[in-house]
Amino acid sequence: MSDPVTTAVIRGFLESTCRDMGQALTHNARSPIFIEGQDFSCAILDPTRELVAAANYDPSHLASMPFTVDAAVLEQRAENIGHGDVIVVNDPYRGGTHLPDVTMFTPVIVDGVRVAYSVTRAHHLDIGGMAPGSVPGGARDVFAEGLRIPPSRWMISGQENHEVLDYILSNVRLPDIELSDMRAQVASLMTGRARVGELCAKFGVEAVLEAMDEIKAQSESQVRAFLTSVPDGEYSFTDYMDRDGNNTCRYAIRANVKIAGDSMHVDFTGTSEQADGAINLPYAATASAVFNSVLQLAGGDIPFNHGCFRAVSLHAPRKSLVNAQPPAPTFGCSTDTPMRVIDTIVGALATVIPDRAIAGSYGTCNIVAGSGTNEHNEDFLYWFFYEGGMGASGRRDGWNVTPNQSANFRDYPIEIIESEYPLVCDTVALIPDSGGAGKFRGGLGSVHQFTFTAETVLSGFADRHEIQPYGLAGGHAGMGSRYRLRRAGTDKWLEFDEFAQSSSKWSGVIAYPGDSLEVINGGGGGFGDPAERDPDLLARDLREGLITEAGVQAYQPGAVDTALTAFSSPEEIGEVRPPAPEDETADKFRTAVADVVGCRTECPLKADPNACAFHHDVAPAFWSTSALSQWARRNCPRADLLLPIVQNSFAQ
């Protein structure tokens, strides 16, 4: 075991390395989504592809990145990925998130020993597909969303693989910018590889590997200590997604949370079946949201690594909204649906740990993507996502205009927007009364208004436009989000469902010079009876313009919350997509595979869960039938026995 001082030094060095990787990425990138928005993550994984260290960039990436590296290494085989090789992959069904999130990684090999993997995941401006910016409001399958990249070699022994480069860059809208941003990710990887090499030179490979194990064990201990403080029991909560952009029904996410001693199990049985539109979550994105919620509830300074995950397990039925199977579209798996997973888990535990839970937050990225040609005949493409109000807790008001629970992005300065794009920023402001009333008020949302100076093709993707963020303990719901468009020369603001397929998920809308767009990000839910709010706080809110004279009425005794929330009646919520069937296929598959003669004796992989997909801890829970079959044909000497098991276990 590594001594405590050495472990602390190595942990600090690895976390600093991840921050340095982020600096290298921003310094070498071209797109504002990297430089200003910092929509990326950097991490170091250990030789078994478990997360050891990460920098605080985008939480939605961090817990899912190891799934991607794990799946890629299982397919490519670790021994075939050498020093100087860089793998690129973005497939949602190989542990990824949505297609614009491109993962790249390289091994760190010191004195012939595979010590770590240096990893980045970054959101690219465009990855092809039906809409500029790859924001596919009406997509019905993953193929419409963009280019789906299986694990491929971006670099081979330190040299760029031009066949892969050309293939990817031929399928995106701004290849020059995309090439620069891809190379920025490579620069980030090289920074991580060099820094881990320095660490091994100072302490030795064995000491570094021992410290990695101890770092994970410390985080596991801290998470288990938190779970021990939560009363044992089973708790449930259901929240809802708006329409998916293709039909009129809502989608339920049900979290059944079981606390037993120092462990937690989350079962999503009862969640709606996978959607026709692009709000689906692949398994890794769901797992990431679950782990995210646990750390948010735990609070404190728990180092984020794989040890945090060991005390938490989950069950997500196949072909449900939270474990969708290909070719279901998945764009919303990084933007909106993970937040609803977080809301359901927090909602389930709110009654037993009210001092740690918060009410529903604005819960959407409210994305706007725009593309066209400016006055200098130059192509442009932008991606905007703005902050809203967070839910209140039993101790304080919600935070105003804050990045959502599954992201940590930064707002674009107005100066950057107006200098880079054919836009004029007319308004950026807080929205009075947007936070739900309560003893503690929900955080306020924001409004952004723009006027276009060039013809622009727009796409938007959002949620919480219809089902508003819920309040807790008698608190009122927060205001929902929305988009509105005003045509040049008119005074009327138009809702998008007046001329597009949905109010919150649309693409291909053309804005002309002089048209204006309004992007409203909603507020958070309140906590506690509004009539119990401290009069001095209420007077301060009124004085500072956070609430209006009309808004004060919500704080009067007997005021009723009339918003449509997770607590609304089924009649108010409307038609809900039915739940996915109960699913035990992964357990059946594992039982059948365990009986196969020769797995541990005749196969060179010896049923090693780090090398064999069939004996892997989680691959049977989410890998598709075709992925498992393909893996068997390539890697399994007993494929003749195992392929029928795949077909029988996962037959619908």
What digits encode the pLDDT tens for the residues 196-224? 999 999 999 999 999 999 999 999 999 99
Give the type of residue at 427. Answer: T
Section 266-283 average pLDDT: 97
Same domain, 438 and 506: yes
Which one of 221, 249, 278 terminates a domain? 221
Same domain, 558 and 597: no
Q: Is residue 485 part of a domain?
A: yes
Pick the range with the lowest mean pLDDT from 112-121, 149-158, 300-309, 462-471. 300-309
Could you tell me the pLDDT band of residue 536, with boundaries at 50, 70 and 90? very high
Same domain, 105 and 119: yes
Q: Is residue 353 part of a domain?
A: no
What is the token pair recorded at 463?
Answer: 């949620």
Question: If we measure between CA atoms, which residue out of 646, 620, 618 comes closest to residue 632?
Answer: 646
Contacts of 4 (CB under 8 A, 6+ apart): none
Q: What is the DSSP letter of 273?
A: B
Which one of 553, 581, 609 terminates a domain? 581
Residue owning tokens 């449930």: 236
Please state the pTM of the whole predicted model.
0.96
Which one of 221, 236, 267 terminates a domain? 221
Coil/strand/helix, residue 576: strand
Section 374-398 average pLDDT: 94
CB 131 within 8 A of CB 383: no
Q: Is residue 446 part of a domain?
A: yes
Same domain, 435 and 481: yes
Same domain, 488 and 634: no
Could you tell me the pLDDT band of residue 588, with boundaries at 50, 70 and 90? confident
Same domain, 427 and 467: yes
CB 171 within 8 A of CB 182: no
Same domain, 607 and 545: no
Q: Is residue 327 reached through a cis peptide bond, with omega within 30 degrees of 0 on the bond before it?
A: yes
Q: Is residue 618 part of a domain?
A: yes
Looking at the structure of the chain, the number of domains it has is: 3
Same domain, 406 and 524: yes
Q: What is the mean pLDDT of the chain?
A: 94
Q: Is residue 287 part of a domain?
A: no
Section 371-398 average pLDDT: 94
Q: Which helix (H) or strand (E) holds 182?
A: helix 175-203
Same domain, 574 and 609: no
Pick the range with the lowest mean pLDDT from 52-56, 367-371, 459-463, 640-644. 640-644
For residue 388, the cross-strand partners are 402
Question: Where in the sequence is the domain holding 485, given as residue range(s)?
Answer: 358-581
pLDDT of residue 387: 93
What is the token pair recorded at 594?
Answer: 């365990």
Please state, in angstroms and rounded to a whole number, the distance separating the CA atoms of residues 251 and 578.
Answer: 8
Same domain, 485 and 602: no
Q: Is residue 364 part of a domain?
A: yes
Question: If we measure between CA atoms, which residue out of 520, 528, 522 comes closest to residue 561?
Answer: 528
What's the burial of 552, exposed, middle or buried (CB within 10 Å: 0-12/13-18/19+)? middle
Same domain, 38 and 155: yes
Same domain, 89 and 150: yes
Read off the pLDDT of residues 48-102 as tens digits, 9 standing for 90 and up.
999 999 987 777 787 899 999 999 999 999 999 999 999 999 999 999 999 999 9
What is the token pair recorded at 344?
Answer: 């359901």
Section 542-568 average pLDDT: 96
pLDDT of residue 44: 98
Q: Is residue 562 part of a domain?
A: yes
Q: Is residue 430 part of a domain?
A: yes
